[in-house]
Amino acid sequence: MKVDPKIINHVLMPKHEKLSDRQKQEILKTYNITEGQLPKIKIKDAGLMGLDVKRGDVIRITRKTRTAGTSYFYRVVTDV
């Protein structure tokens, strides 16, 4: 998908990054969970624009929150 700067730079849009396989395993280990227990994100989601992801990839989202400043959130990519 082509990257649309209007959407990527939108105020509501946090930063999405794809994690490498090693980082992914680390995340699953620290939270002691399986891939299926992570919250999901659809492969066609506008946030994944230009990230070249496939099913099962873990996405790290850097949120700006009012309570903590910045915080990380993880989502796993699912089909459709």
Partner 1 sequence: MQELKKEYKDLLPEKIIQEIEDSLPEKVSKTQLKEIFKRVLEEYENSQVDPGESVGLIAAESIGEPGTQMTLNTFHFAGVAEMNVTTGLPRIIEIVDGREKIKTPMMEIFLQKPYSEGEKIKELAMKIKSTLLEDLAKEFSINIGELTIELQLDREVIKQVGIREETIQKTISQGVKSITIKKTEDGFIIRPRAKGNESLNELYKLKEKLRALFITGIKNIQQVLPVKRKGEWIIVTSGTNLKDVMKLKEIDPTRTISNDIKEIRKVLGVEAARQSIINEVYKVIEDQGLNINVRHIMMVSDTMCMTGEVKGITRYGIVGEKASVLARASFETPIKHLLNAAIQGEEDHLISVIENVMLNQPVPTGTGLPTLKMKR
Residues that bind partner 1 (CB under 8 A): 6-7, 9-14, 16, 39-42, 45-48, 61, 63, 65-71, 73, 75, 78
**How far are the Cα atoms of 47, 53, 67 from residue 4, in angstroms, in the given order?**
10, 17, 30
- Least distance from C-beta 64 to partner 1, angstroms? 9
The pair phi, psi for residue 14, each rounded to 5°, is -80, 175
**How far are the Cα atoms of 1, 23, 67, 71 from residue 17, in angstroms, in the given order?**
15, 12, 22, 13
Q: Which is nearer to partner 1, 25 or 71 (CB)?
A: 71
- Least distance from C-beta 51 to partner 1, angstroms? 11
- Least distance from C-beta 28 to partner 1, angstroms? 17
